[in-house]
Structure 1
Amino acid sequence: MSASPEFVSHVRDLLSPLGPLTDGKFFGGHAMKYEGKQFAMVMGNILYFRVNEATRSEYEKRGSTSFSYSTKRGVVQVRTYYSAPEELFENTELLLSWAKKAIKVAATA
């Protein structure tokens, strides 16, 4: 599913306090980068943050799922990106905190 331009704009506004972000389209989605490192992506109306072994469990505890897509051979799970929990959109400070963690993960990947 393609990234919704309206949702991408909304996410861009929410993440603007992080400083200079770059973003752009890719494979129907939209990548969000900090200092050249992709830390988030938008597919449809879903924001996904970059995770690693240390941060993945926090997403899973909140019911988040990994990004996935279908191929002729089945569903592919991309376990390096998990959906941002809905409650983050109700608390900008919390959203920014999670985004900063995703930035750190991306920087060390």
Structure 2
Amino acid sequence: MSRHDAHKARIAPLRGALQELFAPDARIRPGHPFKDMAGPDALWEVACALLRRAMPDMERPVFMRHHKYRRIKDGLIRENWVMADILDIYRQLGVDDLARMQDMTGGSRAT
């Protein structure tokens, strides 16, 4: 089994875990670039699947700095807010997003 296939197999149980943790009508607010969504199926189909397709295969881990806030009722997540440091992920992938913005706008970077 390739390393990529092994990683896919490791995250396969995630969908079932989302079903157990989130209420079926939970409001999920993942922040940019995603729109608000409802329920664990939407979280899996929109955010998780999109990220799995979008991230390149890497030989090293990528760490995501983030903050999560949740409202829990009757043992299930009813609302979930996530704020991720997307610029740090880009930095780890070798993309200098701030320099790209400077090039696109012709502006200068603050020092």
| TM bucket, shorter chain | under 0.3
TM-score scaled to structure 2, two decimals?
A: 0.27
The structure whose residues are more often strand, as a share, is 1
Structure index of larger Rg: 2
Q: What is the TM-score when the length of structure 1 is the normalising length?
A: 0.28
